[in-house]
Amino acid sequence: MSNSQPQPSSVPILKRTLVFGFLYAAAIAVIGGGVAWLSVGAIGALSVVIGAVMAAVFLGITALSILIAIKYDIVAFFAIVLGAWLLKFVVFLILAVALRDQPWINTTSLFLALIAGVIGSLVVDVVVVMKTRMPYISDPNG
């Protein structure tokens, strides 16, 4: 057996979810930003863009952490995945508190964009996983 470890079957799927998640966030930023610009003004558009970026980054961290952790053994794998999860929520809370009272932020637009981004990217993830072919048994070394 060669020394090179075959990549697990989850890698291409996780990469696809990352790419499509970011594309979806870009769509939210453009469309939502346009709607917010018309209804609230430039502050609303900026808030929607920030909300969409936050949704994409914070949801992308899960997939990214799995992609990074896949190279390590099972203990390190779960430590990295769950550690990234915990850290992400701490950073999210700090960002939310810091952004809330800024004069250049429209809180409602920001958090509505965030919720739209989170729910939409779940749909994107499920569709990507359903549409991608995944071999049933793929990891000879486990």
Partner 1 sequence: MDATSVLAEINGNIATVGYGLAAIGPAIGVGIVVGKTIESVARQPELAGRLQVLMYLGIAFTEALAFIGIATYFIFTK
Residues forming contacts to partner 1 in the complex (CB under 8 A) are 8-11, 13-14, 17, 55, 58-59, 62-63, 66, 70, 74, 78, 81-82, 85, 88-89, 92-93, 96, 100, 107-108, 110-112, 114-115, 118-119, 121-122, 125-126, 129, 134-142
CB of 29 to partner 1, least distance (A): 17
Q: Which is nearer to partner 1, 38 or 123 (CB)?
A: 123
The count of other CB atoms within 10 Å of the CB of residue 82 is: 12
Task: Note the helical H segments in 1-142.
Answer: 10-39, 42-69, 74-100, 107-131
Q: Which is nearer to partner 1, 45 or 124 (CB)?
A: 124
CB of 31 to partner 1, least distance (A): 19
Which residue is associated with the tokens 């071999």? 135
Phi first, then psi: give them for residue 115, nearest 5 degrees: -65, -40
Q: Which is nearer to partner 1, 9 or 30 (CB)?
A: 9
3-class SS at 141?
coil
CB of 37 to partner 1, least distance (A): 20
Q: How far apart are CA 106 and CA 54, in angstroms?
A: 15
CB of 54 to partner 1, least distance (A): 9
CB of 8 to partner 1, least distance (A): 4
Cβ–Cβ < 8 Å for 8, 67: no
Q: Which is nearer to partner 1, 31 or 134 (CB)?
A: 134
For residues 59-68, one letter each, b for 16 or more C-beta atoms within 10 angstroms of the residue's C-beta and e for the rest, the string is bbbbbebbee
